[in-house]
Amino acid sequence: MTALRWVLPPDAVSADALRLHEVPLRQPGPGEVRVRVHAVSLNGRDQMVLRGPFGRIPGRELVPLSDVAGVVDAVGDGVAEFEVGAAVTNLHWQDAPVPTPPLGLGALDAPGVLASHVVLPVNQVVRAPAHLGHVESATLPCAGVTAWNALFGGREVAAGEKVASLGTGGVALYAMQLAKAAGADYFGVVRRASAERRLRDAGAAEVVNSADFPQWGARLREITGGVRNVVDTVGTATITDSLTALARQGEVALVGLFAREPLPLDPMLLFGSGGSLRGVAVGTAAQHRELIAFMERHDLRPVVDSVHEFGDAREAFAHHQRGGVVGKVVITVP
Ligand SMILES: NC(=O)c1ccc[n+]([C@@H]2O[C@H](COP(=O)([O-])OP(=O)(O)OC[C@H]3O[C@@H](n4cnc5c(N)ncnc54)[C@H](OP(=O)(O)O)[C@@H]3O)[C@@H](O)[C@H]2O)c1
């Protein structure tokens, strides 16, 4: 028996370099679960790892991607939590106070999930939401849990409040869905006219195009009176605008890794609103389970931009890299 997996050769920095390898099918060891993969999803972080040096070890090959959904097809000794046939996804990090890969699967020395089968420690496996299929379930582990943590990991977003995020990617669309399900109004910030239209259609109360309003934080504050939460999916380059948009006692959840250069911060932005800036690193196993329960309760279905076949993994990366995606890019495994 063999398994298939896409491998990024050492020091390669383009999806064109991905190679499909056939390898022996590994049996799960004690405390491990083998998952027959049905779907995997891409995150902004996977493009950063692809291009390196973020998340790469020089001279080392890598199986990309961190988020998987599938069915348990073998369990190792001592595993009582899952039976063969269970529909599961992964936790971004193991559910235990043990050393874990700092960037999750598919980065540094942690092989990823762009494969037909993956073997994971049982404490990195979680049941899939009951109402979702594999394509939708594969979007939860990084983007879904990050958005959940950003909105509910500090003070929980409440009905009637205003929430904003940037772009139309996986985290931002999750933020919109979760905020709206909680009864909040969602405001988007985009940089393409096409994204503006699509985000309005998807349910945003209002959308600011930063191409029209380079000082978009001030514009957002003007049209909303100040937002309670900004889920900043870009990074340090946008913190000033995100803080400017805040209502009193508001919070910017700093999620984005696209811009990581240290920047001077005007403390008056925080004094003025009494706001706060909170760093978000995906989330805990408990938050992942809270997200599942919330999505089941509200019958929430993640927004999927496109679904690509396993053999077209290189094109899936290229599509995601071109930008303009709305929601999650998913690859299915036959
Ligand atoms: N801290 C954490 O634990 C954590 C967890 C998950 C994600 N993240 C980070 O969160 C961000 C979003 O991740 P994702 O997976 O949702 O990404 P994604 O699906 O690839 O989507 C990225 C979105 O961001 C938009 N964007 C990029 N740069 C922008 C800018 N300068 N101004 C406005 N919009 C911009 C893109 O717009 P275009 O279509 O116009 O390019 C796109 O809509 C990434 O930085 C990622 O690394 C961090």
- Residues 204-243 pLDDT 10s: 999 999 999 999 999 999 999 999 999 999 999 999 999 9
Report yes or no on 45 lying in a domain. Answer: yes
Please give the pLDDT value at position 326. Answer: 95
Report yes or no on 177 lying in a domain. Answer: yes
pLDDT at 308 over 70: yes
Whether 116 and 233 map to the same domain: the answer is no
pLDDT digits (tens, 9 = 90+) for 130-176: 999 999 999 999 999 999 999 999 989 999 999 999 999 999 999 99
pLDDT digits (tens, 9 = 90+) for 77-106: 999 999 999 999 999 998 876 556 689 999
**What does pLDDT average to over the chain?**
96
Whether 14 and 79 map to the same domain: the answer is yes
Which residues span the domain enclosing 257?
Answer: 144-279
pLDDT digits (tens, 9 = 90+) for 46-81: 999 999 999 999 999 999 999 999 999 999 999 999
Atom of ligand 1 lying closest to residue 174 CA: 16
Please give the pLDDT value at position 100. Answer: 64
Please give the pLDDT value at position 264. Answer: 87
Please give the pLDDT value at position 60. Answer: 97
pLDDT at 22 over 70: yes
Last residue of a domain, which of 279, 294, 314?
279
Question: Residue 124 gets which letter from DSSP?
Answer: G
Whether 42 and 131 map to the same domain: the answer is yes
Whether 304 and 313 have beta carbons less than 8 Å apart is answered as no
Report yes or no on 239 lying in a domain. Answer: yes
Please identify which residue in the block is written with the tokens 């991905």.
18
pLDDT at 114 over 90: yes
Q: What distance in angstroms lies between residue 217's CA and the mean position of ligand 1's atoms?
A: 17
What gap in Å lies between CA 68 and CA 131, rounded to an integer?
Answer: 17
* 98 CB-near residues (< 8 Å, 6+ apart): none
Last residue of a domain, which of 236, 264, 279?
279
- CATH number (domain holding residue 205): 3.40.50.720
Give the residue, by CA position, lying nearest to ligand 1 atom 19: 169
Report yes or no on 257 lying in a domain. Answer: yes
Whether 109 and 211 map to the same domain: the answer is no
Whether 34 and 28 have beta carbons less than 8 Å apart is answered as yes
Atom of ligand 1 lying closest to residue 326 CA: 43
Give the residue, by CA position, lying nearest to ligand 1 atom 22: 169
Q: What distance in angstroms lies between residue 247's CA and the mean position of ligand 1's atoms?
A: 23
Tokens at 4, concatenated: 């298939």
Whether 195 and 326 have beta carbons less than 8 Å apart is answered as yes
Give the residue, by CA position, lying nearest to ligand 1 atom 17: 44
Q: Give CA separation, 211 vs 180, 193, 201, 260, in Å.
A: 26, 9, 19, 21
Q: What distance in angstroms lies between residue 32's CA and the mean position of ligand 1's atoms?
A: 32
Please give the pLDDT value at position 155. Answer: 85
Whether 47 and 90 map to the same domain: the answer is yes
DSSP H helices, the chain, are 44-51, 134-137, 145-152, 170-181, 193-202, 216-224, 239-244, 267-273, 285-297, 313-322
Cα 308 to chain centroid, rounded: 18
Q: What distance in angstroms lies between residue 258's CA and the mean position of ligand 1's atoms?
A: 7
CB atoms within 10 A of CB 271: 9
Whether 135 and 6 map to the same domain: the answer is yes
Report yes or no on 285 lying in a domain. Answer: no
Amino acid in position 36: R
What gap in Å lies between CA 189 and CA 228, rounded to an integer?
Answer: 15
Atom of ligand 1 lying closest to residue 327 CA: 19
* 130 CB-near residues (< 8 Å, 6+ apart): 296
Average the pLDDT over 183-189 and give the result: 98
Please give the pLDDT value at position 102. Answer: 80
CB atoms within 10 A of CB 275: 23
Whether 128 and 205 map to the same domain: the answer is no
Whether 125 and 47 map to the same domain: the answer is yes
Average the pLDDT over 232-258 and give the result: 96
Collapse the DSSP code of 128 into the 3-class scheme (helix H, G, I; strand E, B; otherwise coil) and give the result. coil
Q: What distance in angstroms lies between residue 75's CA and the mean position of ligand 1's atoms?
A: 35
In 3D, which of 194, 130, 174 has the Cα closest to residue 303? 174
Please give the pLDDT value at position 98. Answer: 57
Report yes or no on 220 lying in a domain. Answer: yes
Q: What distance in angstroms lies between residue 44's CA and the mean position of ligand 1's atoms?
A: 5
H helix or E strand, kind and range, residue 165? strand 162-166
Whether 130 and 187 map to the same domain: the answer is no
Q: How many domains does the chain have?
A: 2
Report yes or no on 290 lying in a domain. Answer: no
Report the half-sphere exposure of 170 (CA within 13 A, side-chain side). 26
Report yes or no on 273 lying in a domain. Answer: yes
- CATH number (domain holding residue 313): 3.90.180.10
Whether 179 and 86 map to the same domain: the answer is no
Whether 175 and 94 map to the same domain: the answer is no
Q: What distance in angstroms lies between residue 76's CA and the mean position of ligand 1's atoms?
A: 37
Question: Residue 159 gets which letter from DSSP?
Answer: T
In this structure, the residues whose C-beta lies within 6 A of any atom of ligand 1 are 43-45, 142-143, 146, 166-172, 191-192, 233-234, 255-258, 280-282, 323-325
Q: Give CA separation, 325 vs 29, 96, 224, in Å.
A: 39, 34, 26
CB atoms within 10 A of CB 166: 27
Give the residue, by CA position, lying nearest to ligand 1 atom 5: 282
Whether 131 and 155 map to the same domain: the answer is no
Atom of ligand 1 lying closest to residue 329 CA: 19
